[in-house]
Amino acid sequence: MRLVILDRDGVINRDSAEFVKSRDEWRPLPGSIEAIAALSKAGFTVAVASNQSGLARGLFDRNALRAMHRKLRRLVAAQGGRVDRIVVCPHGPDDGCSCRKPRPGLLHRLARHYDVTLYGVPAVGDSLRDLEAAASAGATPVLVRTGNGRKTEAALPDSFRDVAVYDSLEAVARALVRS
């Protein structure tokens, strides 16, 4: 199988400093839905790994999160694609969990689910913690310039100097489909 792991906010949908709290606030970035569909059609299994500390902060509940993800899945399905699996860290920054990125727990969970190693698996994110989680899970970090991406790119630590950077998920998908 060819697995690709995506961060959610700032990669698939618009991020917000006030958190994305509802189905209506969940708005796809231009081209992101089509990009996921293109990956599916090219044979990739698309999984999403997302920090959602808004749950721990009481900003929205599981039902609201489910509604956002139904919207995502429905939009992708309408383009002939599929989001195969979504894993979420519901904890806050001070909860000491092992799943909140930059920790690798969410990615490990996907590796166990699919019974694969993450070596060579692209893990696409817009924040440093996405790249760090990818690296510590043994996946291949990929940075997009949407969301926090430009800020992240401008402040990349030396250890990520050679990370692949793309303008958008659409550009990542185009490169992966060609590869």
What residues make contact with Mg ion under the rule CB under 5 A? Answer: 7, 9-10, 126-127
DSSP string, 68-125: HHHHHHHHHHHTT----EEEEE---TTS--SSSTTSSHHHHHHHHHHT---TT-EEEE
Lookup: tokens for 51: 């920090």
Active site residue 9: yes
Please state, in angstroms and rounded to a whole number, the distance separating the CA atoms of residues 12 and 61: 20
> Is residue 88 part of the contact set for Zn ion (CB under 5 A)?
no
Among Zn ion, Mg ion, none, what does residue 10 contact (CB within 5–8 Å per kind)? Answer: Mg ion
Largest CA distance in the chain: 42
The binder of Zn ion chosen from 8, 69, 100, 101 (CB under 5 A): 100
- Nearest-CB residue for Zn ion: 97
* Least spacing, CB of residue 34 vs Zn ion, in Å: 30
Residue facing Mg ion at closest CB distance? 10
- Whole-number minimum distance, CB 17 to Zn ion, in Å? 21
Q: State the binding partner of 132 from Mg ion, Zn ion, none, CB within 5 to 8 A by kind.
A: none
- At 36, the amino acid letter reads I
Q: Binding to Zn ion by residue 91, rule CB under 5 A?
A: yes
> Residue 7 catalytic?
yes
Q: CA-to-CA distance for 109 and 23, rounded, in angstroms?
A: 25
- Please tell me whether residue 65 binds Zn ion under the rule CB under 5 A: no
- Which residue numbers are catalytic? 7, 9
